[in-house]
Structure 1
Amino acid sequence: MLKDNYNRSVQLECATCGGQDFESNDDKTYIKCNTCDREYLGGYDELVEYNQGKINQTVDDVKHEVRDDIEQAFKDMFKKFK
């Protein structure tokens, strides 16, 4: 059975310490890690760039989950025709 929602969120981590507690200005063009005080002068985009591997892994996991669910849905549909 296919799910209604395959949304996932990825908790961004500091490239220096792995912390997940950040502060930012209103438009997120500046971000600071509250654990190690590292500043991301490129803001949110820079932080996303450092976390791209983690983001890509989550996307791949969702792709596999969707594929597996589709395969199971087709198997279930074709069982009815036997």
Structure 2
Amino acid sequence: MNMDKYNREVSLLCPTCGCTDFSYREGVEESIEMMMCASCNRIFTKDELIRENGENIDEHLSEIKKELTEDIVDEFSRSLKKAFSGSKYIRIK
């Protein structure tokens, strides 16, 4: 199964203006990354921006889960059919 097809890029949106362009800079601490919206100049930490886009991220995650579940069921079904293809006593539909 090709796992690359489940990779996604989720564009983070500014909750104020909807812009997807941000400039990045180091925050006060090394672990805090500050992001400024290129359109409205609102400043966020990376964690705040991710939290603000949580619904969008969750929607993409739900799509991936659905696709993965369907592909696993199909793969399992093909494996069973292949394993029992020569059997007279077991049939898989």
Alignment TM class, shorter chain as reference: 0.7 to 0.9
Aligned CA RMSD, in angstroms, stands at 1.6
Runs of 5+ consecutive residues of structure 2 not aligned to the other structure: 86-93
What's the counterpart of residue 54 of structure 2? 52
1:32 corresponds to 2:36: yes
1:16-67 per-residue CA deviation (whole Å, 9 max, x = no partner) reads 1110000121355321100122222xx1011001000111111111111110
Aligned equivalents of 2:81, 2:34: Cα separation in 1: 55
* Number of residues of Structure 1 aligned to a counterpart in Structure 2: 79
What's the counterpart of residue 2 of structure 2? 3
TM-score, normalisation: structure 1: 0.83
TM-score, normalisation: structure 2: 0.74
Q: CA deviation at 1:74?
A: 1.3
State the identity as a percent: 34
Runs of 5+ consecutive residues of structure 1 not aligned to the other structure: none
Q: CA deviation at 1:10?
A: 1.0
Which structure: larger Rg?
A: 2
Report the structure, 1 or 2, having the larger strand content. Answer: 2
